[in-house]
Amino acid sequence: MNAIEDLARLIKKLPGMGEKSALRLSYYLLKSDPTYNRALAERIASIQEKIHPCPVCGSYTEDDICEFCKSEKRDRTELMVVEESQDTVTINQAGIYNGLFHVLGGAINPLNGIGPDKLRIKELLERIDSGNFKEIIIATNPTEEGDTTALYIKRLLEDRKLNVTRLASGLPIGGDLGYADKTTLMRSLKSRIKL
């Protein structure tokens, strides 16, 4: 195996990469600006040292507390519960929400051995009980696992005086929040339903 094939083999392990696209990227890197290659390599090698989950909400951050939890401009009466840290970025970049976030770290999936205890649900309850939230917006993915997780959390919160809502469909069913466009996200937020 030569160096190009070796690089392509590693690139192919990335999600969404086929054999041909991996080879194309390898050739692209072979011909690109060396400064770019060094910068990219350095970032890939160091990303895991620089980033850790925020102890409050669980989204990835370089700081002690993440920018959302730290911000004084965000509405502390609204809490949006998402599966993954990148979902906070998706929502935030859409510019449609100004409350706080809570990252579960996944969704309930018994077949894969992911029960509620594997998710940051205990932390969610503690946070809700010590906070001043009026509404909990459940923004798990519109999949079977996401729906199960939403219902599970809704039941846990039934005794509390809270609006518990869920992002409306409008999100394509079976899809993934990370690929939704801004308009779809906005519509699903606007028409969110009470659970």
Q: How far is the CB of 25 from a copy of itself (least distance, A)?
A: 6
Rule CB under 8 A: say whether 92 interacts with a copy of itself.
Answer: no
Rule CB under 8 A: say whether 35 interacts with a copy of itself.
Answer: no
In the bound state with a copy of itself, the residue whose beta carbon lies nearer, of 16 and 110, is 16
In the bound state with a copy of itself, the residue whose beta carbon lies nearer, of 50 and 190, is 50
Binders of a copy of itself among residues 3 to 32 (CB under 8 A) are: 3-4, 6-7, 10-11, 13-16, 20-21, 23-30
In the bound state with a copy of itself, the residue whose beta carbon lies nearer, of 24 and 154, is 24
CA distance 80 to 134: 11
Binders of a copy of itself among residues 125 to 164 (CB under 8 A) are: none
Binders of a copy of itself among residues 48 to 77 (CB under 8 A) are: 48, 50-51, 60-62
In the bound state with a copy of itself, the residue whose beta carbon lies nearer, of 22 and 157, is 22
3-state secondary structure the chain: CCHHHHHHHHHCCCCCCCHHHHHHHHHHHHHCCHHHHHHHHHHHHHHHHHCEECCCCCCEECCCCCHHHHCCCCEEEEEEEECCHHHHHHHHHHCCCCEEEEECCCCCEHHHCECHHHCCHHHHHHHHHHCCCCEEEECCCCCHHHHHHHHHHHHHCCCCCCEEEECCECECCCCCHHHCCHHHHHHHHHCCEEC
The contact set with a copy of itself (CB under 8 A) reads: 2-4, 6-7, 10-11, 13-16, 20-21, 23-30, 34, 36-48, 50-51, 60-62, 84-86, 89-90, 178-179
